[in-house]
Chain A
Amino acid sequence: MARRLVQLLTALIYNINIKGFFAGGIYKGRLKSVCVPGLNCYSCPGAVGSCPVGALQSSVGAVRNGISFYVIGFLILTGSIFGRFICGWACPFGFLQELLHKIPSPKLRKKRAFGVLKYIKYVVLAVFVLLLPAYFFIRDGVTVPAFCKYICPAGTLEAGVPLVLLNESLYQSIGRLFSWKLLVLAAAIVLSVFIYRPFCRFVCPLGAVYALFNRVSVFGIKSEEDKCTLCGACARACKSDIDPSVNPNSGECIRCGDCVRVCPTGAIRLGAMYFNKPGDSPKRRDAR
Chain B
Amino acid sequence: MMRSRRVFFTIILMCAGALMLFAGIVSGEPSSVMRKAVYICLECIGIG
Closest CB in chain A relative to B43 CB, distance in Å: 4
Q: Which of A97-105, A173-181, A230-238 contacts B (4 or more CB under 8 A)?
A: A173-181
Most interface-central of A41, A74, A216 (chain B CB within 10 A): A216
Contacts of A55 in B (CB 8 A): 33, 36-37
Q: Tell me the count of chain B residues lying within 8 A, CB to CB, of chain A.
A: 38
Contacts of B45 in A (CB 8 A): 41, 43, 155-156, 159-160, 163-164, 170, 178, 181
Q: Tell me the count of chain A residues lying within 8 A, CB to CB, of chain B.
A: 61
Q: B47 contacts A174, CB within 8 Å?
A: yes
Contacts of B36 in A (CB 8 A): 42, 50, 54-55, 58, 62
* A39-88 interface with B by 8 A CB criterion: 41-43, 50, 54-55, 58-59, 62-64, 68-81
Contacts of B43 in A (CB 8 A): 144-145, 148-149
Residue of A nearest to B10 (CB): A216
Q: List 15 A-B contacts (CB under 8 A).
A: A27-B38, A32-B38, A33-B30, A35-B33, A54-B36, A70-B27, A70-B29, A71-B29, A73-B18, A74-B21, A156-B45, A174-B46, A174-B47, A216-B6, A218-B10
Apart from A71-B29, A275-B7: 17 A-B pairs, beta carbons within 8 A: A32-B37, A32-B38, A42-B41, A42-B44, A69-B29, A70-B21, A74-B24, A76-B14, A149-B44, A155-B41, A159-B44, A170-B47, A173-B42, A177-B47, A182-B46, A213-B13, A216-B10
Interface residues of B (CB under 8 A from A): 1, 3, 6-7, 9-10, 13-14, 16-25, 27, 29-34, 36-48
